[in-house]
Chain A
Amino acid sequence: MKPISFLLIEDDLIETLKFNRVLDTLKIKHSVNRVENGEEALEFLKNTDEVPDVILLDLNMPKMNGIEFLKILKDDRVLKYIPAIILSTSNNQKDILECYKIGIAGYLLKPLKYEDYSLKIKNLVVYWSCNEFIKV
Chain B
Amino acid sequence: MSTTDLEILQRALLRERKARKAAENILEEKSRELYSITQQLKEANEKLQSGLTEKTTELQGVFDNLVDAYVLMDLGGNIIKLNEAAKELFGYDVPKEAVNVVRLIYKEDFNYAMLSFNLLIETGSFSDYIARVYTKNKGVRWVHINASIIKNSKNKPIGAQGIVKDITDQRAIEQQNNKLVQDLEKSNEELAEYAHIVSHDLKSPLRSINALVNWLREDYKSILDDAGLENMRLIEQTLEKMEHLINGILNYSSVNNIAVLKHEAVDINSIIKEIENTIFIPKHIKIIKKQNLPVINGDKTRLQQLFQNIISNAVNYIDKEIGIIQISFEDKKTHYLFEIKDNGIGIEKEYFDKIFKIFQSLGNNKNSTGIGLSIVKKIIEIYDGEIWLESVPKVGTSFFFTLKK
Q: Which of A21, A92, A114 has the most CB of B within 10 A?
A: A114
Choose among A18, A88, A110, A112 the residue that contacts B239 (Cβ–Cβ < 8 A): A112
State the CA gap A115–B239 with chains docked (Å): 14
Q: Does A60 have its Cβ within 8 Å of any Cβ on chain B?
A: yes
Expressed in whole angstroms, the Cα–Cα distance for A59 and B204 within the complex equals 12
Known: A21-B215, A89-B204, A93-B260. Is A114-B199 also a contact (CB below 8 A)? Answer: no
The residue on A at minimum CB distance from B210 is A114
Which residue of the partner chain B has the closest CB to A65? Answer: B197
**B207 touches A (CB below 8 Å):** yes
Residues of A near B197 (CB, < 8 A) are: 60, 90
Q: Does B196 lie within 8 Å of A112, measured CB to CB?
A: no
Which residues of B in the span 230-276 have a Cβ within 8 Å of any Cβ on A? 236, 239-240, 243, 260
Q: Which one, A18, A89, A95, A113, contacts B199 given CB within 8 A?
A: A89
What CA separation (Å) do A92 and B257 show in the bound complex?
Answer: 12
Contact between chains at B200 and A89 (CB < 8 Å): yes
Q: B201 interface residue, CB < 8 Å from A?
A: yes
Number of residues from A at the complex interface, CB < 8 A:
21
Chain B min CB distance to A107 (Å): 14
Contact, CB under 8 Å: A112 / B260: no
CB-defined contacts of A17 to chain B, threshold 8 Å? 211
Whether B214 sits at the interface, judged by CB under 8 Å, is yes
Q: Which one of B199, B200, B210 lies within 8 Å of A112 (CB-CB)? A: B210
Q: Does B404 sit within 8 A of A, measured CB to CB?
A: no
Count of chain B residues with a beta carbon within 8 Å of a chain A beta carbon: 21
Give the residues in chain A near B208, CB-CB below 8 Å.
Answer: 12, 14-15, 18
B214–A89 touching, CB < 8 Å: no
Q: Which of B200, B201, B215 has the most CB of A within 10 A?
A: B200
| A88 contacts B260, C-beta separation under 8 Å | no
Q: B206 and A112: CB pair below 8 A?
A: yes
Q: Are A18 and B211 in contact (CB under 8 A)?
A: yes
The interface bits of chain B over 121-140 (1 if a CB of A lies within 8 angstroms of the residue's CB, else 0) are: 00000000000000000000
Most buried by B among A15, A59, A89: A89
How many angstroms between the C-alpha atoms of A90 and B210 in the bound complex? 17
Q: CA of A115 to CA of B240 in the docked complex: distance in angstroms?
A: 13
CB neighbours of A81 from chain B (8 A):
none
Task: Provide the bound-state CA to CA distance between A111 and B243, in Å.
Answer: 10
Chain B residue nearest in CB terms to A17: B211
Q: Looking at the assembled complex, report how far the CB atom of B214 sits from the nearest CB atom of chain A, in whole angstroms.
A: 4
The docked-state distance in angstroms from the alpha carbon of A90 to that of B215 is: 24
Please tell me if B203 contacts chain A, counting CB pairs below 8 Å. yes
Q: Which of A38-78 contact B (CB under 8 A)?
A: 59-60
Contact B207 A60, beta carbon cutoff 8 Å: no
A6 at the interface (CB under 8 A from B): no
The minimal Cβ–Cβ distance linking A46 to chain B, given in whole angstroms, is 28
Q: Across the interface, do A114 and B240 meet the contact criterion of CB distance under 8 Å?
A: no
How far, in angstroms, from A110 to B260 measured CA to CA in the complex? 25
What separation, in Å, do the CA atoms of A15 and B196 have in the docked complex? Answer: 19
Answer whether residue B212 sits at the interface, using C-beta atoms and an 8 A cutoff. Answer: yes
B388 CB to closest chain A CB (Å) equals: 32
- Of B200, B208, B211, B240, the most chain A CB neighbours within 10 A belong to B211
Tell me if B243 and A112 are in contact (CB < 8 A): yes
Q: Is the CB of A14 within 8 A of B196?
A: no
CA distance A112 to B212 in the complex (A): 12
Give CA–CA (A115, B215) in the complex, Å.
Answer: 10
A60 to B197, CA, bound (A): 8
Per-residue contact bits, chain A 1-27, to B (CB 8 Å; 1 contact, 0 not)? 000000000001011011001000000
Chain A contacts with B in 85-136, Cβ cutoff 8 A: 88-90, 92-93, 95, 110-115, 117
Q: CB-CB < 8 A to A14: which residues of B?
A: 207-208, 211-212
Are B200 and A88 in contact, CB atoms less than 8 angstroms apart?
A: yes
A63 to chain B, nearest CB (A): 15
**What's the minimum C-beta distance from A10 to chain B, rounded to whole angstroms?**
10
Residues of chain B within 8 A of A15, CB atoms compared: 204, 207-208
20 chain-A/chain-B pairs, Cβ below 8 angstroms: A12-B204, A12-B208, A14-B207, A15-B207, A17-B211, A21-B215, A88-B200, A89-B203, A90-B199, A90-B200, A92-B196, A93-B260, A111-B207, A112-B207, A112-B210, A113-B214, A113-B236, A114-B207, A114-B210, A117-B211
Across the A-B interface, the 9 shortest Cβ-Cβ residue pairs = A14-B208, A114-B214, A89-B203, A114-B211, A92-B196, A112-B243, A90-B200, A18-B211, A89-B200
| Chain A residues near B (Cβ < 8 Å) | 12, 14-15, 17-18, 21, 59-60, 88-90, 92-93, 95, 110-115, 117
**B residues in contact (CB < 8 Å) with A:** 196-197, 199-201, 203-204, 206-208, 210-215, 236, 239-240, 243, 260
Having A93-B260, A113-B214, one finds 5 other A-B pairs with CB under 8 Å, namely: A60-B197, A90-B196, A90-B197, A114-B214, A117-B211
